[in-house]
Amino acid sequence: MGIPLASEARLESVNGRTPTIATLCSHSSLQIFHGARIEGFPTLGICVGSPPKFYDAFPLARPDQFLSVPTVKDLPKVTDKLREDGAIIVPHGSFVEYLGPEAFATMDVPVFGNRAVLGWESDRRKERDWLESAGVTMPKLFEDPKQIDGPVIVKYYGAKGGKGFFLAKNREALEGFHPTGPHVIQEYVLGTRYYMHFFYSPITDGGYRLREGSLELLGMDRRDEANIDELYKLGAQEELMKAGLRPTFVVTGNVPVILRESLLPRAFEVAARIVERSIDLFGGMVGPFCIEGIMTEDLEFKVFEISTRIVAGTNLFISGSPYSDLIEPGLSTGRRIAREIKRGRAEGRLAEVLS
């Protein structure tokens, strides 16, 4: 038996009945509903105001019912209704972002995955402690600008989509830079970006085994980021910055990628270390997560961020990916989540995958 994340009291609303899979109508909700439906679960879409019309365009992913709230922040007021429906909330990036970490952490409805991960993910320093203590290589941090020995990226805390990030090609280029808020100065890693979609199941025995449970790779993407991806077309970035044009990293879309096969063992090793360390630190990061990093020309993988729930890049693979097809054709991350809930119920181990 693994680590119980949810108390008996928390699970009362889903005991002895088929749960309803619920999420906020945004981000990767179509995929989550589609996957839940294939696995035989009823679905509920939480929406702000009227149900979004574009859901009508996707009948296989439209939830069975909608629950409307005036704003996302009002969600805690409808938790009685969600419990009555036997809802299990599947959180995605926007869900936690819009609701706020406090309200999410204390919401009295069963949630898929371990909520305790939030405390480690939302604080950049704690995230670094977690990953580095797992033996993962991250971009160097410069506490003292005098130590800068190459290109750097200055990241402001809470800069959504990297708005306001600042790039400098060396220490000299940063002279005269006056930060406008709390920030970190990080090594700018030159290489190619990979966003790897993993799934950790504490209740599965087969496949790529960890100390407890097993790890799956379900897909991989690269994000399209505006304006940085096309900035070069206007000329040298330094000149652009002098003209007041700043690079931004706002995600506008995603493209599918695969990794050189010989690099896959390294990718699994990094993911496994992160999960095993999470078990020691806070009971385990259960379900989907995404490792976001850069592979250098020396084939060193440097992780700059981890997302600890379903990422929007998985929407590329609603009908499977080159990786998930080798596990089971047609296996999306949304469907994998529903499958985990199904297995948890069948084996009386829901407490290990819900919190």
- Nearer to ligand ATP by Cβ, of 85 and 225: the residue is 225
From residue 210 to residue 249, the character string flagging contacts with ligand ATP as x (rule: CB under 6 A) and all else as - is: -------------x-x-----------------------x
Q: Quick count: other Cβ atoms within 10 Å of Cβ 261?
A: 7
Q: Which of residues 175-204 bind ligand ATP (CB under 6 A)?
A: 186-189, 193
Candidate residues 159, 226, 240, 259; the one interacting with ligand ATP per rule CB under 6 A? 159
**Is 338 a binder of ligand ATP (CB under 6 A)?**
no
Q: 78 vs 251, which CB is nearer to ligand ATP? A: 251
- Least CB distance from residue 188 to ligand ATP, whole Å? 4
Q: How many CB atoms lie within 10 A of CB 150?
A: 14
Residue 214 in contact with residue 268, Cβ under 8 Å?
Answer: no
Is position 161 an interface residue for ligand ATP (rule: CB under 6 A)? yes
How many CA atoms, within 13 angstroms, populate the side-chain half-sphere of residue 68? 5
Alpha-carbon gap, residue 203 to 216, rounded angstroms? 13
Q: Is 162 in the site for ligand ATP (CB under 6 A)?
A: yes
- The Cα–Cα gap between 20 and 88 comes to 6
| Residue 327 sits in the site that holds ligand ATP (CB under 6 A) | no
Binding positions for ligand ATP, 265-324, rule CB under 6 A: 294, 304-305
- For residue 16, give the 3-state DSSP assignment: coil
Beta sheet of 152-156, edge-to-edge order = 166-168, 152-156, 183-187
Query: What is the rounded end-to-end Cα distance, in angstroms, of the chain?
Result: 16
**141 in contact with ligand ATP (CB under 6 A):** no
Residues within the interface to ligand ATP (CB under 6 A): 139, 153, 155, 159, 161-162, 186-189, 193, 223, 225, 249, 294, 304-305
